[in-house]
Amino acid sequence: MSKPAFKRVLLKLSGEALMGDDPYGINRGTIERMVADVAEVAKLGVELAVVIGGGNIFRGVAPGAQGMDRATADYMGMLATVMNALALADAMKHVGVTARVMSAIGIEQVVEPYVRPKALQYLEEGKVVIFAAGTGNPFFTTDTAAALRGSEMSAEIVLKATKVDGVYTADPKKDPNATMYQKISFDDAIAKHLQVMDATAFALCRDQKLPIKVFSITKPGALMNVIMGAEEGTLVHV
């Protein structure tokens, strides 16, 4: 097998991707398949950090959050990402991948606090590092956390793994004539108002010259294709 195209990557995994076909929560079959893909990549020696969202769990209680203070709701969402991170780490353990969960908010009885030098050490040791609780601050999304942690970890690329296989000219569910971009610059994506990431995350990646690859995590083998530099998804670049 040829060498991977990347040595160190930041995988942004949406919580919704863990649901499979379920309305919310974690679909065990889905997470096991994703973890199998991650294990294949880890065996190549790729240093892999993960930022995970919490929309799959928080979605189940979203109606109860209506009218709630935004900061309080955001902290609830952070806790949902911790649950997802624990589930992901447990699934990795079952396939022989060592993972460490680090949280941006203090829950030391459950997971380690985020400490940058320690996270870098884990990556160099070949462990998968799962960053939970976003940035630790309300009003910032896990997309922003991915851009931030990717920059802090000196990742070569942010891999945004979603249920969609790339960035389109329009919503492909609504417009049958929508076409997918193979590559697009940050400036063009901003000018065209393409929803790659939220504005704060997008600006940070652009300023740090940190490219983003958007691809479908539900497609078997897609993660490996991206790691090997094959044509897969959409590359957003400077």
pLDDT tens, 27-58? 888 899 999 999 999 999 999 999 999 988 87
For residues 162-188, give the mean pLDDT: 90
Sorted by where each begins, the domain ranges of the chain are: 8-237
Per residue in 218-230, pLDDT tens?
A: 888 999 999 999 9
| Closest by CA position to 196, among listed 213, 176, 218 | 213
Asked if residue 81 belongs to a known ligand binding site, the reply is: no
Q: What is the pLDDT of residue 61?
A: 64
pTM over 0.75: yes
Residue 10's SS3 state is: strand
Q: Per CATH, the architecture of 8-237 is what?
A: 3-Layer(aba) Sandwich (3.40)
68-112 confidence digits (pLDDT tens):
888 998 999 999 999 999 999 999 999 999 999 999 999 999 999
Contact call for residues 135 and 104 (beta carbons, < 8 A): yes
Q: In what order do the strands lie in the sheet with 234-237?
A: 112-113, 99-103, 128-132, 47-52, 8-13, 157-162, 212-216, 234-237, 183-185
For residue 194, the model assigns a pLDDT of: 87
Whether 186 has a binding-site annotation, put simply, is: no
The reply, when asked if residue 143 is annotated as ligand binding, is no
22 assigned binding-site residue: no
Residue 43 assigned to a binding site:
no
Work out the mean pLDDT of the chain and round it to a whole number: 92
Residues 6+ apart with CB under 8 A from 176: none
Residue 142 assigned as binding residue:
yes
pLDDT band at 65 (very low <50, low <70, confident <90, very high): low
Mean pLDDT computed over 146-166:
95
55 marked as part of a ligand binding site: yes
Say whether pLDDT at 1 is over 60. Answer: no
